[in-house]
Structure formats: C-alpha cells, structure tokens
Amino acid sequence: MPLLAIETTCDETAAAVITRDRAVLSSVVASQDELHARWRGVVPEVASRAHVERIIPVIDEALSIAGIGRSDVEAVAVAVTPGLVGSLLIGLSAAKGIAATLGIPIIGYDHIAAHLYACRLAHGEKMKYPCIGLVASGGHTSLFYLRSPLEMERLGGTIDDAVGEAFDKAASLLGLGYPGGPHIERVARGGNPKAHRLPRPLANDQDRIDFSFSGLKTALRYLVRPPGGPENVPPPVGQQRADLAASFQQAAIDSILAKVELALIRTGCGSLAIGGGVSANTLLRESIKRLGQARGVAVFVPPPSLCTDNAAMGGIAWERLERGEDDGLDLDVVPGTDRSIRRK
C-alpha cells in the first residue's frame, strides 16, 4: 500500500502518493505565487492562511489521481524542517489527523534531504552514494556530502542570501514577475552574458566551500539604479534588460559551479546530485552536466517538476518506514530561521 506525503514548508501546498518501490502515483502542487507576487517575496501569515484553505483539497486530489481512498494509505509523511513555522504546522496537523484516524505510522522528514532524494526518485538505483548534493532554492544554497539518503554532512553554504532569493531580487530590479528565476532565465536567452562583468564573491577562495550572493544583488542594483541617482528610474527594457539578466544569471551559476567543483576535488566523490527550485535552471543543469563529464563524475539531475517544492520527494520517508520506524503523534516541527528572514 502506498505512502501519502504532505509538504507545506513555505508557500506551496503539496501532496503526493508514492509506492514502496518509489513510483510516484500522483503529485499535486497548489502554488501560492499569485498571492505573494505583489510583495515579491513570501509573506508568512498569508502563506499559513492559504495552506489552511488548500491542504484538504490538495490531499483529496492526490488520492483521487492515484486512484485510492484514504483507507488505502499505509503511512503518512510530512516535511517538518526547515520552513516557516506557521506553514509547517498546517501540514503537520493534517498529517497527524490522518495518522490518528487511520492508526497508521507518521514520518517527519527533512525538506532539504528530500530535495536531493528527488534525484533518487528520478534515477532509481543508478544514483550512487556517497554523493555530493547541491541544494539551490529560494531559501537555501548548500553543499552536502551524502553517505546515504538520510546521512548528510553539510560542507558549506551561503553566508548571506540564497541563490533563488538573488534571482527573485534581480527579477524585481528588472521589472519582471515573481518568482524571478524562470523570468530571468527566459529574458536571459536573448542577452549577452559577457555584457556586464558582475562579481562572483568567494568563487576564487579555495579555502572555503561557501557562497555569497548579496554583493551580486547589490552590483546589479547599482547598474540599474546608479548610487546617488534618482530612486524611481523605470526598470530597463529590451536588449539592455536581456544583457543584465544574462550577465546576472552567468555570475550566479559561475559562483555555484566553483564551489561544486571544490567540493568534488576535496572529497574525491564520484557522484553529484542537485535539487531545489534553482536546479530547474537550464544553464545550471547544463553547466553541472559538463562539469561532471570533465571530471568523470556521474551527475544526477531531477526533472524540473521535482526541482521546485513538491511532495513526491517526501518518498524519502520510505527509507525510514522500511526500517519499521514511526515518529508517532508527538512529532513536532523544527522551523528554520533562514527561510523566515527571507528578504524581499
């Protein structure tokens, strides 16, 4: 019998049904993008309220697409960390309600580990451990050494903004919509990535596997609105905008690649997986694959639908269910502060 997974860490309400052999029978994601677009960032209270309205219909839709009823569910999994506390609690409450009424196990899983597990779902046993894992999203930019799906050692991460957050801010500066990543990617297609030389902070520092994106964000801001000049200049358009988007995208991806390569060199690891919303970016996906080929490293990239937040990656809970584990109804959330301080 399959597993029902629930995901409400940030601004996506999601549910999925995954079988024991890791087949995804359904994966439903209700995006709240339209609710947060006018703020160009996630408003925690708005997110929590939207989760309350959407969680039950989303679960019912996931069960219906999978062709099963609630009583056919063998266990329930829910992302409990990291995330916005109000958002996490809605998913946890729904999961506990189902586990309590059906008398089935409940497993709390880590959203970050789950982002990387998306590669396991997509590539099955071909994905080998140990492996280097890059999580690049709106809330996180971190590198891990994974001994197995559940054993991760953090090698480093951003010291300021997450890369997705930088994409969102760049899009806002260029007068594009939210979330910014897909807009930057689209506009950058017509631009010259060498038009502007934007900074790649820490990229040449061989001593640390860390990232920094706030300087890149500021550099773009100064190109769009030079310091000391008027604040209310209209956003750039046409070729100028395309060149700025392409130069920004190239700088962000170069910064990531430099540290992925450093992590591969330091660990000597022969396997690399990526996950999180920014890993839907074509330039990142292609650059990572080229890096893997050049270094003789096997690269695992999830399909775009498994990159951005979804509940199918909650299939990671099978790794614990197979060991007979059950977190029980005392399960609680462990909110991370990094998402709740997400800047606009």
State the nearest-atom distance from the C-beta of 100 to Zn ion, in Å.
Answer: 27
Q: Going by C-beta distance under 8 Å and a sequence separation of 6 or more, which residues neighbour residue 26? A: 15, 16, 17, 61, 62, 63, 64, 65, 66
Give the nearer residue to ligand KG4 in terms of CB position, either 180 or 292: 180
With beta carbons less than 8 A apart as the criterion, state whether 25 and 17 touch. Answer: yes
State the nearest-atom distance from the C-beta of 164 to ligand KG4, in Å.
Answer: 3
Choose which of 109, 167, 211, 213 interacts with ligand KG4 (CB under 6 A): 167
CA distance 320 to 107: 8
- Is residue 137 a contact residue for Zn ion (CB under 5 A)? yes
Q: Residue 197, SS3?
A: coil
Buried b (16+ CB within 10 A) or exposed e, 176-213: bebbbbbbbbebbeebebebbebbbbbbeeeeebbbbb
Give the nearer residue to ligand KG4 in terms of CB position, either 274 or 280: 280
State the nearest-atom distance from the C-beta of 141 to Zn ion, in Å.
Answer: 11
With beta carbons less than 8 A apart as the criterion, state whether 326 and 105 touch. Answer: yes
- Is residue 201 a contact residue for ligand KG4 (CB under 6 A)? no
CA dihedral 29, 30, 36, 37 (to 10 degrees): 80
Choose which of 110, 309, 319, 327 interacts with Zn ion (CB under 5 A): 309
- Is residue 158 a contact residue for Zn ion (CB under 5 A)? no
- Is residue 157 a contact residue for ligand KG4 (CB under 6 A)? no
Here's the x/- map for ligand KG4, 5-44, by CB under 6 A: it reads as -----x----------------------------------
Binding partner selected for residue 48 from ligand KG4, Zn ion, none, CB under the kind-specific 5 to 8 Å limit:
none
- Is residue 278 a contact residue for ligand KG4 (CB under 6 A)? yes
Q: Residue 5, SS3?
A: strand
- Is residue 13 a contact residue for Zn ion (CB under 5 A)? no
Note if the bond before 303 is cis, omega within 30 degrees. no
State the nearest-atom distance from the C-beta of 307 to Zn ion, in Å.
Answer: 9
Q: Which residues bind ligand KG4 (CB under 6 A)?
A: 10, 137-139, 164-165, 167-168, 179-182, 185, 276-278, 280-281, 308-309
